[in-house]
């Protein structure tokens, strides 16, 4: 080969390298990850999702690309996220942060595989035909935090730790899709333990400030925070409100207790996200969501923040300490 022709070949090859690299990158499967929560309050569960994905041999930036969209508690943004991902033709649409996210994804596509982490009832919501045989393009981890027995458990734990409180306040987001089920469950739980209940509602920051003021005017002595993605994004503010007003409070996820909340009881959300990561990997490998049973929680977290209890002047009964999965000192 003549020197001039050899240089042409080498030059053409070098010029093609970036194009080949881009082509290889674009050939990687894409996961569209949408959440009703925010990245600030989702760190541990997101890591659990990535861990599960890794267990299925997929790693972001290596053999899969993940694009994120965060609604930050504003449920109205979820449908647009889902449509965007459908137009992007992602390989799997992962819908997290509650039932609203999964419903938005399901309404946007009947063909792209959906893996969800949500509460409520996925059958009633039209996400799947049944738990064992989803039947359509969606499956995932079912994590409910608002079943009547769960609200009763939370209030019972709060009552056991602060038995002399005559009026308990509850914070509820009326825009949360599960709110219609949460309210009667909380009211029934209060009747079961024989305590009066006052419910304050909030779905944005202005209403949250008003709800705080209203709860204080009513003279509540303890607080239950209902499960909701918006409240999750305002976790630190809610915990600070309880601390500043010396209110024993119970929450639904362990992250609240680790952030300074007094008590938390609910399904292990980190385990649910890890399972969703595994399912996402299995779908990427070619499995059909219709054949993957919806996973139900088998692990529940009961966490007590002993440091917060001492700050509030509360003595935690030995029975509660013994029953807790984790005690923060």
Render pLDDT for 300-326 as a digit per residue (tens, 0 to 9).
899 999 999 999 999 999 999 999 999
Note the pLDDT of residue 144. Answer: 64
Note the pLDDT of residue 56. Answer: 97
Check the CA dihedral 248-252-256-258 and report its sign: positive
Q: Is the pLDDT of residue 290 over 70?
A: yes
Is 94 in the same domain as 26?
yes
User: Using one digit for the tens of pLDDT, what is the confidence trace for 143-179?
Assistant: 765 555 677 889 999 999 999 899 999 999 999 877 8
* Average pLDDT value for the chain: 89
Is 281 in the same domain as 140?
yes
Q: Which residues contact 117 (CB under 8 A, 6 or more apart)?
A: 94, 95, 96, 97, 140, 141, 143, 269, 272, 273, 276
List the CATH number of the domain containing 23.
3.40.50.2300
Is 128 in the same domain as 84?
yes
The string over 65-86, giving b where at least 16 C-beta atoms fall within 10 Å of a residue's C-beta and e elsewhere, is bbeebbbbbbbebbbebbeebb
Domain of residue 254, residue span: 148-267+301-328
The pTM (predicted TM-score) of the whole model is: 0.80
Is 83 in the same domain as 139?
yes
Is 217 in the same domain as 275?
no
| Cβ atoms of 200 and 217 closer than 8 Å | no
Q: Number of structural domains, the chain?
A: 2
């Amino acid at each position: 080969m003549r020197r001039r022709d050899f240089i042409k070949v080498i030059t053409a090859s070098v010029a093609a390298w970036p194009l080949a690299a881009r082509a290889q990158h674009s050939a990687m499967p894409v996961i569209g990850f949408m959440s009703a929560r925010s990245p600030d309050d989702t760190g541990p569960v997101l890591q659990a999702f990535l861990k599960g994905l890794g267990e299925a041999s997929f790693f972001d930036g290596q053999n899969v690309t993940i694009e994120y969209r965060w609604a930050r508690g504003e449920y109205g943004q979820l449908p647009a996220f889902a449509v965007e991902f459908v137009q992007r033709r992602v390989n799997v649409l992962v819908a997290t942060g509650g039932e609203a996210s999964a419903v938005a994804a399901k309404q946007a596509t009947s063909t792209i595989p959906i893996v969800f982490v949500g509460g409520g009832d996925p059958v009633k919501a039209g996400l799947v035909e049944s738990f064992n045989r989803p039947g359509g393009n969606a499956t995932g981890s079912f994590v409910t935090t608002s079943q009547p027995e769960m609200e009763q458990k939370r209030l019972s734990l709060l009552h056991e730790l602060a038995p002399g409180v005559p009026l308990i306040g509850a914070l509820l987001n009326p825009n949360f899709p599960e709110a219609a089920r949460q309210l009667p469950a909380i009211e029934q739980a209060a009747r079961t333990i024989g305590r009066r209940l006052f419910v304050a509602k909030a779905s944005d920051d202005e209403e949250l400030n008003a709800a705080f003021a209203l709860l204080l005017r009513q003279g509540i002595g303890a607080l239950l925070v209902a499960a909701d993605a918006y409240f999750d994004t305002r976790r630190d503010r809610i915990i600070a409100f309880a601390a500043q007003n010396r209110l024993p409070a119970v929450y639904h996820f362990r992250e609240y207790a680790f952030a300074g909340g007094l008590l938390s009881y609910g399904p292990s959300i980190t385990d649910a996200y890890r399972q969703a990561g595994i399912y996402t990997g299995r779908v990427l490998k070619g499995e059909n969501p219709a054949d993957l049973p919806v996973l139900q929680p088998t692990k529940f977290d009961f966490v007590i923040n002993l440091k917060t209890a001492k700050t509030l002047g509360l003595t935690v009964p030995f029975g509660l300490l013994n029953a807790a999965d984790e005690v923060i000192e």
